[in-house]
Amino acid sequence: MRRDVYQAIADPVRRDIIKLLMKDTMNINEVAKNYEISRPAVSKHLKILNECGIININKKGRERLCKVEPTMLKPAFTWIDQYKENWNKQDKTNTP
């Protein structure tokens, strides 16, 4: 099943994993060390990100390395940008 980018960014843990992996490629254990959830739970989040195409998981020997593919986030940025001007106008009118 191919998921879309919106399913990936809907969860705060997945958003944080994306942020973490934007800094560096990491193996699954390195990613899991950053969270107080089980390794299988982290693996599930990584699987969803991989299914959405936001990260690639490549085998290198016995390791599975996770790397962000930031271009796959473009549809979400494009969708958000269409509302940005409206939000900025509303913020200005609500400022005391």
Residue 13: how many CA atoms within 13 Å on its side-chain side?
17
Query: Which pair of tokens denotes residue 48?
Result: 């969803």
Domain 5-93, what fold?
Arc Repressor Mutant, subunit A (1.10.10)
Query: Which pair of tokens denotes residue 4?
Result: 């879309």
3-state helix, strand, coil in the chain (%, to 5): 60, 15, 25
pLDDT (tens place) for every residue of the chain, 96 residues total: 567 888 889 999 999 999 999 999 999 999 999 999 999 999 999 999 999 999 999 999 999 999 999 888 888 888 888 888 777 777 677 766
